[in-house]
Amino acid sequence: MNLGISAKEFISQVREGSLSVEEFVAKTLDRINQVEGKVHAFITVDKNAIDKAKELDKKIKSKEKVGKCFGLPISVKDNICTAGIRTTCASKMLENFVPPYDATVISKLKSEDAIIIGKVNLDEFAMGSTTEHSYFGPSKNPWNPEYVPGGSSGGSGVSVSALECIVSLGSDTGGSVRSPASFCSVVGLKPTYGLVSRYGLVSYANSIEQIGPIARRVEDIAFILNIIAGKDEHDNTTLDNKNEDYLTGLDSGISGRRIGVISQMIAEGIDDDVFSATNNAIEKLQSLGAECIPVSLDAVEYSVAAYYTIAAAEASSNLARYDNLRYGFDFGLEGYEFNAYVSKVRSNFGQEVTRRMLLGAFVLSAGYYGKYYLKAQKARSMIKSQIDKAFKQVDLLISPTMPILPFKIGEKINDPLKLYLSDINTITANLSGIPAISVPFAFSKSGLPIGIQLLANSLEEKKLLQAAYALQSITRLPEISI
């Protein structure tokens, strides 16, 4: 049985009866058992998945109405609430937390008969870009387990890449879906801010984060987006996408499209292999009839400082709620005064989370607010206005997703600033709210994946996915050997 099939192939095989959901889910669970020791994508595997698969097979056999997903096995980043399945955020602070409700994205997928196969690893509270900052230990890159898989949705990227599921949901605050997609050679989409409901996503930086799908094929991203996108009464920031169908016309091509090449993202400091892969992608898009022109976004220079200022500020506020009283780990109250207790238990946050909360408290504190936070908000507005201006000239923007190749686990863990700087290409989309996708495109001489990022104007996911599909159609990549 081929576990590497697309969602589209899975659904058509199940629908015509040549594949049973139970068989596929059982094989997927076997696969997870077999490779987890090497890649560590999962925090929790849901053993009930097999019962749900059996139920669905019965429904299909008796010709009852079945949802669009037909039992499609998906993994879910462990900061998205799943009723009855623990949701840890890869933190000791939520080690035993079992949500009493489903996130909107989860209830939408369940109502279409998707099967949640398990919850996957992340940097604690989604803060990080390597998945090394997980309380449960790092995930590993399936293309070379000595290397990081990217992050923070590392478990999502790994589980899709290592054939432990067909599709995964991640969340993207500064590139957390696109970074692991690029490093693991899969596709990852950060939708327009407000296109997908954040209800049930554990908050980190509310004004910039979005839930996004990761899959091996662009068409599967479009399929999942059709299900999860749209207005939600539980999230006031959601937008009405008028039930746009992202699948129809996906193969329309990109002839005549104008693509802006972001000069600041193909400049000094990028890896040589990434540089030549990006130029190669641009040439290929031109050969399909796109017109590529250089575009300058000079505010990108301030994006990392602005992003980390805003994200840290929002994080320090959001994470104030974890006092270990309403939920948390077992730690006796005896002998503690209230504040002492809270400070004591909160010392169990990991280093990166602690660091960001300290930074957040600093940039918001009296005397520094104007110097950092307010300036960051102005820089954000400047980035947005440069993006708006660029989209008056072009339909899409292009850059490498990551300026560097995956690196060894542990290599940069003690240099947080260096890691922050590697987010330079992805955070522009978060600060300005526009959609962006990472498409696997090439491999380095050392055998590590390289992804290409495409960006479109707000709510132009359809145009974005068409371009990503065109790029995918002229790319041949090796199969995973793990």
Q: Which residues lie near other proteins (CB under 8 A)? A: 96-98, 100-101, 233, 236-237, 301-302, 304-306, 308-309, 316, 319-320, 325-328, 333, 336-344, 346-347, 349, 351, 354-355, 357-363, 365, 371-372, 374-382, 384-385, 416-417, 420
List strand residue ranges (DSSP E) for 51-166, in order: 73-77, 115-120
DSSP state of 116: E
Nearest residue to 348 via CA among 151, 94, 42:
94
- To other proteins, the closest distance from the beta carbon of 337 in angstroms equals 5
- To other proteins, the closest distance from the beta carbon of 330 in angstroms equals 9
For other proteins, the closer of residues 75 and 324 by Cβ is 324
Written as one string, the DSSP assignment of 201-244 is BPPS-TTT-EEEEEESSHHHHHHHHHHHBS-BTTBTT----TT-
- To other proteins, the closest distance from the beta carbon of 414 in angstroms equals 8
- To other proteins, the closest distance from the beta carbon of 107 in angstroms equals 14
Strand partners, 42: 120
HSE of 10, CA atoms in CB hemisphere, 13 A? 29
d(CA 54, CA 66): 13
- To other proteins, the closest distance from the beta carbon of 306 in angstroms equals 7
Within 10 angstroms of residue 206's Cβ, the number of other Cβ atoms is 15
Distance of CA 345 to the CA centre of its chain: 29
- To other proteins, the closest distance from the beta carbon of 334 in angstroms equals 9
For other proteins, the closer of residues 34 and 385 by Cβ is 385
Residue numbers annotated as active site: 77, 152, 176
For other proteins, the closer of residues 237 and 446 by Cβ is 237
Assigned token pair, 7? 């969602």
For other proteins, the closer of residues 42 and 97 by Cβ is 97
For other proteins, the closer of residues 252 and 377 by Cβ is 377
- To other proteins, the closest distance from the beta carbon of 269 in angstroms equals 15
d(CA 227, CA 221): 10
Whether residue 104 contacts residue 197, with contact meaning beta carbons closer than 8 Å, is answered with yes
CA distances from 128 to 45, 156, 173, 195, 400 (A): 23, 14, 10, 24, 19
Distance of CA 475 to the CA centre of its chain: 22
The radius of gyration computed from the CA coordinates of the chain, to the nearest angstrom, equals 21
Nearest residue to 195 via CA among 467, 448, 461:
461
CA distances from 382 to 103, 388, 457 (A): 33, 10, 16
For other proteins, the closer of residues 18 and 414 by Cβ is 414
**Residue 383, helix vs strand vs coil:** helix
Residue with tokens 């936070």: 373
- To other proteins, the closest distance from the beta carbon of 87 in angstroms equals 12
For other proteins, the closer of residues 31 and 86 by Cβ is 86
For other proteins, the closer of residues 101 and 275 by Cβ is 101
Nearest residue to 31 via CA among 71, 69, 73, 70:
73
- To other proteins, the closest distance from the beta carbon of 453 in angstroms equals 22
Going across the sheet that includes 291-295, the strands are 42-45, 115-120, 73-77, 167-172, 210-215, 187-190, 436-443, 449-456, 396-400, 258-262, 291-295
CA distances from 111 to 67, 70, 71, 429, 476 (A): 7, 11, 11, 30, 35
For other proteins, the closer of residues 362 and 443 by Cβ is 362
